[in-house]
Structure 1
Amino acid sequence: MAEATERASTRVDWPGYLLGFGLGGFFDGILLHQVLQWHHLLSGVEQARQDIGVLILTDGLFHVLMYVVTAIGLWLLWRVRSDFAAPGADRRLLAAALIGFGLWHIVDGVLSHWVLGIHRIRMDVDNPLFWDLLWFAVFGIVPLVVGWLLRRGGGRGPQVASSPLSLVLAVVVAAPLAALPAPGDGPVMVLFRPGVAPAEALAAVQSVGGGLVWVDAAQQLWAIELPEGADATALYGQGALLVSNSILPLGCFDWLRA
């Protein structure tokens, strides 16, 4: 009986994977392509970027593909609808959907952003890799790990708090978020990479409207004041390794780099 129950609950895996994968594609397409308009599917392709009609058409074809994936997931789910009577099948379906959702963002990040280069999360920033990694972590790794923990927990719950992976998860999410300086929160500390000349660092600071407060003897760690509304993340494209409102992570990062 227990073995039959396990087989019944596992038959909802593939419907969950496909539904989560399709929803991940819809989430990206609707939010990034249409609402925020940070990129289109082929924003990184020079020829396509010259024609908005081509960009809209490829976005539409992408959504058609996601419709197909989601429709297959719904069809498979309908075929195993009787298996929902098995204990834990609903939890298994949710876990598989979270894994599929995270897997979409991982595949998209690796394939579309870094291998093919057809687009990045944000095309209009100096440091697109930062946004790629942030999106990869928050919407790729986090749902994948949560789904895995949920399925592993079975009827006992995901037990995220007691798992060592929760620490890894917290670091993965917190690390990219910590690199975003909070607006209007005092001086901003900027650590420039080795090889950036003081004149180049000063020019970078001035380019974002910053004023010098302090600089260390090596002229790599700078404390600057920014006007309201200034985008400190632009410094990442001008030689900054880390931008923060706190000197602690910068000091630790500089120590590790040394």
Structure 2
Amino acid sequence: MARKQKNRHVSPSRNILSGVLFGIGLMALIDEIIFHQLLQWHHFYDLSTPFIGILSDGLLNAFALFAVVAGLFMFADIHRRHIAHMRTWTASFFLGLGGFQVFDGIVNHKLLQIHQVRYGVEVLPYDLAWNISGLILLTIGTILFFQAKRRLSLNEGG
């Protein structure tokens, strides 16, 4: 018979990892489904043949699905153990969303140049929209994270 565990000191690391993984995976799926498949603006890797481009999209989908499932399994575990802290988890979720977006926009689009947001148009407005939306998500995550941290420290001290 399983014993119900008491609400122990909330260790934020599992909450953070779960939220970040879920956020990264969800944003990768949104990117893949909308921009790669529905709009067909680009593939994850556009520097080769169409076959390789589609293969790279499949690998990105597999990674995204793994991240979503792993994040949700971890969330179920911390919830079952009564160590879930929703403010920390939500902050981490937003950090994962924005982190994927900014990483993709800066590293993949500009530094590695493995694909652009869109081809055949002036790319600057697309780059700005892509990266600014990612920065907004990161800002939301950062604000929520500091609020959660402050709330946890108040609960521990009082």
Aligned partner (choices 34, 37, 53) of residue 34 of structure 1? 37
Partner of 2:18: 15
Runs (4+) of structure 1 exceeding 4 A deviation are: 83-86
Structure 1 portions without partners, runs of 5+: 158-258
Change (3 A) 1:150 1:62: same
Taking only the aligned residue pairs, the percentage that are identical comes to 31
Question: What corresponds to 2:109 in structure 1?
Answer: 113
TM-score by length of 1: 0.51
RMSD over aligned Cα atoms:
2.3
Equivalent residues of 1:84, 1:90 under 8 A apart: no
The aligned residue for residue 154 of structure 1 is 148
Structure 2 unaligned segments of length 5 or more: list them.
1-7, 152-158
**What residue is the counterpart of 1:80 in the other structure?**
78
TM-score by length of 2: 0.79
Aligned match of 2:89: 93
Distance (Å, rounded) in 2 between the aligned partners of 1:92 and 1:81: 13
Deviations along 1:126-174, one digit per CA (max 9) or x if unpaired, are x213311221111x101110111122223999xxxxxxxxxxxxxxxxx
The partner residue of 2:118 within 117, 122, 142 is 122
Alignment check: 8 A CA contact 2:95 2:138 kept: yes
Deviations 1:182-235 (A, max 9, x none): xxxxxxxxxxxxxxxxxxxxxxxxxxxxxxxxxxxxxxxxxxxxxxxxxxxxxx
With a CA cutoff of 8 Å and minimum separation of 6, indicate the structure with the bigger relative contact order.
Answer: 2
Q: CA deviation at 1:71?
A: 2.7
Q: CA deviation at 1:16?
A: 0.3
Q: 1:92 to 1:107 in 2, by over 3 A?
A: same
Q: Specify which structure has the higher proportion of strand.
A: 1
How many residues are aligned here?
144
